[in-house]
Each structure stands twice: as C-alpha cells, then as structure tokens.
Amino acid sequence: MLLGSIEAGGTKFVCAVGNKDYQVQDSAIFKTTTPEDTIGQCLEWFDQYRDELAAIGVASFGPIEIRQNSPRYGFITNTPKKHWADTDFVGPLKKHFDLPISWTTDVNSSAYGEYVLATLFNQRVNSLVYYTIGTGVGAGEIVNGHFVGELGHPEVGHIRVKRHPDDRDFAGICPYHGDCLEGLVSGPTFPARLGISGRQVPLTNHVWDIMAYYVAQAALDSTLMFRPDKIVFGGGVVSEPFLKKVRREFQKLLNDYVDVGNVDEYLTMPLAKNNGSATIGNFALALKEMNE
C-alpha cells in the first residue's frame, strides 16, 4: 500500500508516494504553470503507482474552499496567481483516481506533519502552530488534534503587528494591506528593503532584528490566543540563528506573563528535515481520510 502526497506551491508542485510509516519511496517536482499542465503532470506521475495507491493527501496554496458541503469544495478560489483562480483541484484527481483524497492548505498540512512527528518523537503535543516564512507567510493551527477554521482557513500571514521604530519608512509589500506580517517579513521584503536577496544579507544586518521583532509578535499573539504546546517555524527565511533572535524578542514581549516552559523547545525549527513537514502531513491526512 502506498500513500500519495501533492504539495502545491506557487512555483512548484512536489509529488510523493510513501508507506504507512510516512517514509518517502519516490518523489517528483513539477513547475507550476497552468492547472491543466501541472495537475496533468502529477496525475501522469502517480499513474505508475496506480495499483498500490490507497489515498492521496493534497496541500495547496490558497485561498482554497474547505467546506465539505460547498459545491466548490476542492477549489483554489480567488488567488491572484495567474491561471489559478477558480480552479477545481480535487475534481480532476477524483475523476482520475477513485480514491479517498484529503484537501487542506499547505500550512495546515505542515502543521499536521509536525504534530504527527512530535508524537513519533514521544513529545506530548496536542496543540501546535506552524508558521511558514518564505515567499509568503502563513500559519496552520491545530488545537486538540483538530485544525482551526470551519468556514475557511486562518490567514495568519496577514495579521497586523506593531511597527519597529527603525522600520517606519518601509511601507511593506502586501498588495492588500501593505505592512501586515507578510508585507514585513516574507522573503521578497529583502529585495524591497535592501535591493538584494535574503541569502545575501548577513545575520549581523539590523534588518534581521527588525524581522525578529515582528515574528516574535506573531508568536506572542499565537501564544495568547491558543497557548499551543509549541510553535514551529519553517520556510526559506527561517534559520536557527534567526530563531534565537525571535526567542529573545518573544521573551521580552511576553514578560513572563504566561509560562511557556523552555523557550528553546517552545519556539522551534521543524522536526521534518528539508521542508518535509507537508509531505508527512499529507501522508497522515490521506491515511486518516482512508480510515474515516
């Protein structure tokens, strides 16, 4: 038996098959072009495993329709991404493979992957928040094993934060809100602020302190709203040295108001290596879908 995973991102789709222990057996990457082409390439790739495939988990960039009773369940909805607005995603999969298919956001799947891995690592984790800070910013939230969000999924990337005094001149880059969290800390803010990519900005640059201040506020808000067992940070912008700065700012802002235990264990990098949280989450959600 094999479980399938599709991680649909704005620049690439990652397809994988894995066993019931969530170990990847094979994977492939396809460039995100048009829905027909990219979803078509995924289906063609999964065809070679048709006989063994038992269920597929899909994690998609959004916004997406997650209400099971909606006629547009399984659609990518009003994304600004060219070609992809109002795209039926689950429909073509169901038509091609008559299998259980789970459907959620990329960050929800990553959150679920980290939740499952925490259990495998014998950590006591019932509630978890997963932030991705990369091309965009978003978060998935699990409370007592369930995703937060019934009518729609959370859009934590667009919360408001208090501006850093040294960052007042930067307008932010979110096309909807300017200086929301995503508008201030996503990867493309580096070229917008400094004219160079994040990879070229040394950790000694003050911009990292400013970003840590914003990310710490997001962690504080998640703590005050959900008090999860831990908050995980993934995505291309995040590194352990950056997270050290975030923890420092977080402790200043929290000011011992809530006991979160060891902050190094509370605000952490993903347990999954190489950005693999979503794939593991997809396998686990596919298996869950199959058993329901």
* Chain residues that interact with Zn ion, rule: CB under 5 A: 158, 174, 176-177, 180
Question: Are 138 and 107 in contact, with CB atoms under 8 Å apart?
Answer: yes
Closer Cβ to Zn ion, 7 or 182, answer by number: 182
Instruction: Report the alpha-carbon distance of residue 232 to residue 111 in Å, rounded.
Output: 8
Closer Cβ to Zn ion, 163 or 177, answer by number: 177
Instruction: Report the alpha-carbon distance of residue 118 to residue 128 in Å, rounded.
Output: 10
Closer Cβ to Zn ion, 161 or 278, answer by number: 161
Helix (H) or strand (E) holding 280, with range, is helix 277-291
Peptide bond into 63 cis (omega under 30): yes
Closer Cβ to Zn ion, 181 or 271, answer by number: 181
* Smallest distance, Zn ion to C-beta of residue 174, A: 3
Question: Are 16 and 5 in contact, with CB atoms under 8 Å apart?
Answer: yes
* Smallest distance, Zn ion to C-beta of residue 185, A: 11
Closer Cβ to Zn ion, 186 or 223, answer by number: 186
* Smallest distance, Zn ion to C-beta of residue 129, A: 18
> Six-digit token pair at 287?
């298996």
* Smallest distance, Zn ion to C-beta of residue 67, A: 23
* Smallest distance, Zn ion to C-beta of residue 177, A: 4
Specify the 3-state DSSP secondary structure of 284.
helix
Question: Are 154 and 141 in contact, with CB atoms under 8 Å apart?
Answer: yes
Non-local CB neighbours of 11 within 8 Å, separated by 6+ positions: 31, 32, 135
